[in-house]
Every structure is written in structure tokens, then in C-alpha cells.
Amino acid sequence: ILNVEQSPQSLHVQEGDSTNFTCSFPSSNFYALHWYRWETAKSPEALFVMTLNGDEKKKGRISATLNTKEGYSYLYIKGSQPEDSATYLCALNTNAGKSTFGDGTTLTVKP
């Protein structure tokens, strides 16, 4: 069984705060790491796909880094806004096939 761990499970921040959370995964047999944003009552939407050690991706105020050797990825949100409130899922591919998801970090941004 592949363990993809996300921490913290939930996070509450004030509007304007910057925050980050972690996705940990087995470093062997790495192929790709995905981040998804999932709003309640909607479907998960892809944020980033990362494949190389040291990859950094950015989309607006959200960015992500990847360390395949030690088996972790960080997602950063700069200047959090209430609309950033969602569950952030990471998913690991060990081959060009199935993605194994973590249970997500649920972010709540208070105005």
C-alpha cells in the first residue's frame, strides 16, 4: 500500500496570512506528483503536475515545490483570501497509471 500523507489535516488562517502545507510520499519509484484544489460540492481541479526533483511551479499566489529524494512537496499560498478556502489534495504516480491520493488539507480563510 502506497502511503501519501498530508499535513496538517486542517488549517484556519486569517485573510492576508501566508500559509503552507505538506505532502509526504515514499521516495522510491517516483514518477509524478499532482496537486489538486477541491471545493465542497465540486470536483477536484488540477493545480500542478510536478515531475522533476527541485521543480517549482507557480500559479498566481499559489506555488509548490518538490523534493523527490526526501519524498515531500510543499504547497504555499501567499496572502490567503477567503476564496482560497478549499481542500488541497496531493496525488502520487509511481508509473504512468493510477494516481494515489492523500486525504487532503482543508484550508479555511477567515475574512
Partner 1 sequence: GAGVSQSPRYKVTKRGQDVALRCDPISGHVSLYWYRQALGQGPEFLTYFNYEAQQDKSGLPNDRFSAERPEGSISTLTIQRTEQRDSAMYRCASSSSGAGKLFFGSGTQLSVL
Residues that bind partner 1 (CB under 8 A): 4, 6, 31-32, 34, 36, 42-46, 49, 89, 91, 93, 95-104
Nearest CB to partner 1, comparing residues 31 and 53 = 31
Report, in Å, the least distance between residue 104 CB and partner 1: 5
Which residue blocks in the chain are alpha helix, DSSP H? none
Minimum distance from residue 100 beta carbon to partner 1 (Å): 6
Helices (H), 52-111: none
Looking at the Cβ atoms of 17 and 22, the one nearer to partner 1 is 22
Which residue lies nearer to partner 1 by CB, 44 or 71? Answer: 44
Closest approach, Cβ 39 to partner 1, in A, equals 12
Nearest approach, Cβ of residue 42 and partner 1 (Å) = 8
